[in-house]
Amino acid sequence: MTRTFPDSVDVVVVGSGPTGAAYARILSERAPAATIALFEAGPALTDPPGMHVKNIAGFAAQRAAQRRSEGLHPHTDGEPGQYADPARRILRPGTHLLPEGYQAPGEDGLPALAMSTNVGGMGAHWTGACPRPGDGERMGFLPDLDELLDEAERLLEVDRHPLAGAPYTDLVRSRLADAFDAGRAPDRRVQPMPLAVHRRPDGALVWTGPDIVFGDVTRNNPNFTLYAESPVQRVLVEDGRAVGVLVAGQEVRARFVVVAADALRTPQLLFASGVRPPALGRYLNDQPQTVFAVRLRDVASAADVTTGAEIIGQSGVGWVPYTDEHPFHGQVMQLDASPIPLVSEDEPSPGTIVGLGWFCGKDLQASDRIAFSTDEVDDYGMPKPSIHYTLTARDRASLAAAREQILRAARALGEFIGDEPLLLAPGASLHYQGTTRMGPADDGTSVCGPNSEVWGVTGLYVAGNNVIPTPIACNPTLTSVALAVAGARDIASQLVLQSAAGAAIGGDHA
């Protein structure tokens, strides 16, 4: 890492989360001669950069890293907000809230909208769930989606059968299967949640962060450089082509620019750069969700439960996949794997307590959007965002149906903890999608094409959950990394062809 910027490179990547790291990895593998500069607005928390915070040794060190991820007004050492807060403003370690503009009068807004600003982005803090999209979650115009998902699993080091052999995992899965499997296709039946984790020889879990996505091939690439604490201010566009970026007041020229700066800041940077296709910032999808908790019925309390950041290997993490008939994504997880505090610290052993979370596919509307000011700026000097977001009648019906589904799961598993499932505040999913959505044609309803290149701006690519165009209800990271793989391959093939053409011209002149 360095603060001395080059005058020019082959590829600029903006943002160091899982998708930005995927671009760097694929380019390092497929076009190793290409020079790559990756710019990240936040600090590097770890060595190697981008490591998952749960892999940091010691709780105090983890908390310090989370605090450094919380933007210009960190809150970890203060009093965190509660989910019952009347303002529904949820403070979670490692993230920072949009300070204002999160709810327009008369709208639901996204009061819980949050971001992470650090090398690795939200990928340094995520839960690692990597389910595959199914049925209506899939992009039908991508015939090679399954192969791209395979490649995303390679980059994220996904284990499809994590926590195998945990004492209660078969029991939980069996009870859920009895409740939900009838009539489902084999790949849509209850199953273990694929997780981006692996076990060390000593048995400890290692969580995938962008450091693993980068991999040794990127870290050892002499043509790749990561620039932390280097916020990009503009993408430079000339004659309909991206030609570089402005960072810290300096121009860095490039053949290709990839913006992977999350679902709020990617469209923000494009807007600031004068790249404003009709769909920019629109079709915002937050995944409405409801959560609950149960104590497993007819099992003994676990005697060897430990506490801390690591998942306890008792009941594991189960998955009730989305289907068109039941358009919900269900997660049933060991309590301490949940990012949501579902029970008090006074509860007995969490070895017998599981949290349930049901995510709904949003009723996608162009009116659900992030708007940007032309005359006001945020704390980072970028166009100030404001959220326009409303749950439709269809969304509310979906949430009511999800409530019935989560109660069905709870009855199958055990005894309720609490009287009713909890409806989380809009924005709580952290799975924001759609604001630079992909589409098969430039018809005004998408920002980029199937290879993630922005319509009308050659050489400018976008990446992240924001590229996903479908009402996806499952955890989106695996899908967004898969889409990034396709974009990175497209750039790599062009670089290789350009290099070959240059070599041929040079040979002709020799």
SS in 3 state form for 440-456? CCCCCCCCECCCCEECC
- Sequence length of the chain is 510
- pTM, two decimal places: 0.93
261 with 330, same domain: the answer is no
Question: How many percent of the chain have pLDDT more than 70?
Answer: 88
pLDDT digits (tens, 9 = 90+) for 352-407: 888 999 999 999 999 999 999 999 999 999 999 999 999 999 999 999 999 999 99
According to the model, what pLDDT value does residue 338 have?
45
Among residues 326, 388, 431, 509, the one annotated as catalytic is 431
Q: Where would I find the H helices in 120-259?
A: 145-156, 169-180, 210-219
Q: Which of 425, 440, 470 is the last residue of a domain?
A: 425
Q: Which of 425, 440, 474 is the last residue of a domain?
A: 425
172 with 138, same domain: the answer is no
403 with 474, same domain: the answer is no
According to the model, what pLDDT value does residue 448 have?
98
User: CA distances (Å), 467 to each of 37, 38, 66, 140, 215, in order?
Assistant: 22, 19, 26, 15, 24
- 219 domain residue, yes or no: yes
Mean pLDDT, residues 292-313 taken together: 62
- 198 domain residue, yes or no: no
- 151 domain residue, yes or no: yes
Residues facing 453 on adjacent strands: 461
- Mean pLDDT over all residues of the chain? 90
- Name the pairing type of β-strands 460-462 and 250-259: parallel
Residue 303 has pLDDT above 80, yes or no: no
- 502 domain residue, yes or no: yes
341 with 417, same domain: the answer is yes
Residue 85 has pLDDT above 80, yes or no: no
**Number of Cβ within a 10 Å radius of residue 52:** 26
Residue 426 has pLDDT above 50, yes or no: yes
- 84 domain residue, yes or no: no
The CATH number for 483's domain is 3.50.50.60
345 with 455, same domain: the answer is no
pLDDT digits (tens, 9 = 90+) for 163-191: 777 778 888 999 999 999 999 999 999 99
Least Cα distance to 468 among 453, 482, 489 occurs for 482
pLDDT digits (tens, 9 = 90+) for 37-77: 999 999 999 999 999 999 999 999 999 999 999 999 898 87
Choose between 507 and 450: higher pLDDT.
450
128 with 264, same domain: the answer is yes
Q: How far apart are CA 215 and CA 285, in angstroms?
A: 31
113 with 45, same domain: the answer is yes
- The whole domain housing 506 covers 1-75+89-98+108-159+208-286+431-510
According to the model, what pLDDT value does residue 81 have?
47
Residue 343 has pLDDT above 60, yes or no: no
* Helix (H) and strand (E) counts in the chain: 8, 20
Q: How far apart are CA 406 and CA 419, in angstroms?
A: 13
According to the model, what pLDDT value does residue 84 have?
40
Structure tokens at 63: 């908390």
Q: How far apart are CA 267 and CA 263, in angstroms?
A: 7
CB-CB contact of 464 with 260 (8 Å)? yes
23 with 153, same domain: the answer is yes
Choose between 68 and 92: higher pLDDT.
68
Binned at pLDDT 50, 70 and 90, residue 4 comes out as: confident
Peptide bond into 48 cis (omega under 30): yes
226 with 280, same domain: the answer is yes
- Catalytic annotation on 509? no
Mean pLDDT, residues 6-30 taken together: 98
According to the model, what pLDDT value does residue 90 have?
80
CB-CB contact of 317 with 346 (8 Å)? no
Least-confidence region, from 173-182, 193-202, 407-416, 443-452: 193-202
Least-confidence region, from 235-239, 288-292, 392-396, 504-508: 504-508
Question: How many percent of the chain have pLDDT more than 90?
Answer: 79
255 with 397, same domain: the answer is no
248 with 153, same domain: the answer is yes
Residue 313 has pLDDT above 70, yes or no: no
- 352 domain residue, yes or no: yes
- 35 domain residue, yes or no: yes
According to the model, what pLDDT value does residue 506 have?
57
According to the model, what pLDDT value does residue 92 have?
86
Residue 349 has pLDDT above 70, yes or no: no
Give the phi and the psi of residue 76 in degrees, each rounded to 5.
Answer: -55, -35
Q: Which of 425, 442, 469 is the last residue of a domain?
A: 425
According to the model, what pLDDT value does residue 115 have?
96
139 with 173, same domain: the answer is no
- 318 domain residue, yes or no: yes
**Count of domains for the chain:** 2
